[in-house]
Structure 1
Amino acid sequence: MKQTALNPAVLKIGELAGRAGLTVRALHHFDSIGLLKPSARSASGYRLYNRADIARLHQIQALRRFGLPLADIGALLAQPGTPFAEILAQQIAALGRQIKQACVLRERLSQLQRQLDQGAEPELSGWLSTLELMAVYDKVFTPEELQRLPFYSNGAKSQAEWAALVAQVRALIDGGVDAEHADAQRLAEHWMIMLERDTAANPDFVMRIDTLLAQDAAAQQRTGITPQLRQYVMDAFSARRHSVYAKYLDEDEMRHMRANSGKRAAEWPPLIAAVQRQMDAGAAPDTPAVQALTRHWFELFRDFAGDRPATMLKIRAATEKEPTLRTGTWMSDDMLTFIRQSAATLQAAAAKAGAGSSAG
């Protein structure tokens, strides 16, 4: 590099740093990455910056305020033909993400403030646990969806309730209490009631939470809801339902139900969620997509109920009379009506096809 004597148009690194509001260390870094190299050095080795260098530094500072990282600034200044429209679009998108994150943080802090105003002030460990869970659920829900989830909005309070319930279930498991025991059934029913409440009775939300807890070891550790504990709750809840159905069905019917109700149980949650999405989208009961779901619905129903019409009527009567049988199913009255309307259109179409075949 060329050495030169000092003149008014040249600044030493310290002088330039002071005028630009930077540190000498920052200018050293700019030099090391090739972003801003001094045009000359003094006889004693000091970095010297001329008018062109100072102008380049002004450009760098302007682009930094614009939000561009140093690597992108260097590439931009090296290529005068860079499409600025594309850069603007990228920066707008980046700012959009930052705004969304800031809104989520603001709502989270407001939520904590509301709880403090209401007199809820748990230990530090409770706050940290709540914040950790918020971060976990951020993975599977959008900010808008999170605001619709009561368990998220209630924060530390909901977390404390779930922690207490998980501890009670864990105590039964550790004590060797069978899932069919009355205490286990009682806790399982309470579990389902809380789950419906805290997910706003949205089957799609429940599906995502179940998937998260099944696959995310960190979520299992933070909540205490291990696969073993969850299965215990499901078994206890199934036993609870069977005890209610036993008031309406004979021994043969109950034997069939107990033998078959668990075989395809995993297919019900996604099916119910799919039906809810069709309803939310305003689909008519006679559309092909809804009718396909209805066929699947009655296929699963026949698998655990059997093919006897009398048994099916008993089960329907039990479901209408016993609120417990609807708990934890996410089947609303509107959904059942929707499915029955779809089934009626299928039956009408089948009858019409049969009549046409006979006429032929």
Structure 2
Amino acid sequence: MSTYGRYFSPEEIRALMANWKAVADQWPPLIAEVSERMARGVPADALELQPLAARWMTLMGQWMDGNYDLIERWGEMYRSEPVARRDDGPSAALIGYIEEAIGLRMAALLRHLDAEDFARLGTPPDAAWRRLSGELEALRARGAAPGDPAVQAIAREWAALFDAFCDHDPGIAGRLMQAMATEPVLQAAAVTAPPVRELLLRAMATLRAA
């Protein structure tokens, strides 16, 4: 623990250890997927890697309670202190690889959000958004229109989740929507396919006009 003590307070170490239980099972499959892309020679700046970069960021946020100072310190420790790396943990090379992809994602976000905006974002409710995306895809396949009551119900739930993710700040929500609309790096990790996203956006516009 002496190595950890150079980077974190005793309270922070206790919180990290407690939070680890909630995310521990999700790391091995994600590391394996990143390792497979790296072994296959997928460039770190490839859009193919962005869904994994987004998942990595989300898991780190869950583990570190969304505290980006903690995330930065953890990264510094992992890069600088070989003793901090578990035998079954990711290699320094893999960390460098995924950090490059994450850096591209962060740069895209920070073209639209400032650091204070970014710090206020919550943990993305990816599981709920994927569920809603699947339901919306099924409705789209049946030819449902944006004003269909079932589509509208999904749009309302999605909007509520997005509002909470943006700390109930319409300014942050608008800037993040603009980022998603204009940044291919962010679109590559979206939980919705383009046709589903188009239906969702039209349904949300119908909601706002009602």
Q: Give the aligned residue type for 2:172.
A: T
Shift of 1:245: 0.7
Q: Give the number of aligned pairs.
A: 135
Which stretches in structure 1 are left out of the alignment for 5+ residues?
A: 1-162, 171-184, 195-227, 350-360
Normalised to the residue count of structure 1, the TM-score between the two structures is 0.32
Q: 1:186 maps to which residue?
A: 44
1:261 corresponds to 2:123: yes
- Quick one: higher RCO (CA 8 Å, sep 6+), 1 or 2? 2
1:337 corresponds to 2:198: yes
Q: 1:144 maps to which residue?
A: none
User: In structure 1, what is the Cα distance between the partners aligned to 2:132 and 2:201?
Assistant: 15
Shift of 1:288: 1.6
Select 1:322's aligned residue among 183, 196, 202.
183
Instruction: Quote the sequence identity (%).
Output: 24
Q: Give the aligned residue type for 2:114.
A: D
Q: Give the aligned residue type for 2:116.
A: D
TM-superposition CA deviations, 1:282-327 (whole Å, max 9, x none): 1121122111110111122112223222222211221222101110
Is the alpha carbon distance of 1:238 and 1:296 closer, same or farther for their aligned partners in structure 2, counting shifts above 3 Å? farther
Shift of 1:193: 7.1
User: In structure 2, what is the Cα distance between the partners aligned to 1:335 and 1:168?
Assistant: 27
Shift of 1:189: 4.7
Select 2:112's aligned residue among 242, 248, 253.
248
Where 1:186 maps in the other structure, the secondary structure is coil
Is the alpha carbon distance of 1:240 and 1:261 closer, same or farther for their aligned partners in structure 2, counting shifts above 3 Å? farther
Where 1:248 maps in the other structure, the secondary structure is coil
Contact 2:51 2:190 in 1 (8 A): no
Structure number with greater Rg is 1
Shift of 1:165: 5.9
Contact 2:120 2:166 in 1 (8 A): yes
Which stretches in structure 2 are left out of the alignment for 5+ residues?
A: 1-31, 53-88
Deviates more, 1:292-301 or 1:243-252: 243-252
Contact 1:245 1:318 in 2 (8 A): yes
User: In structure 1, what is the Cα distance between the partners aligned to 2:176 and 2:45?
Assistant: 24
Instruction: Trace 1:267-282 onto structure 2 (pairs within 5 A).
Output: 267-282=128-143
User: In structure 2, what is the Cα distance between the partners aligned to 1:299 and 1:238?
Assistant: 27
Normalised to the residue count of structure 2, the TM-score between the two structures is 0.51
RMSD between aligned alpha carbons? 3.8
Contact 2:136 2:154 in 1 (8 A): yes
User: In structure 2, what is the Cα distance between the partners aligned to 1:164 and 1:261?
Assistant: 22
User: In structure 1, what is the Cα distance between the partners aligned to 2:205 and 2:45?
Assistant: 38
Contact 1:284 1:290 in 2 (8 A): yes
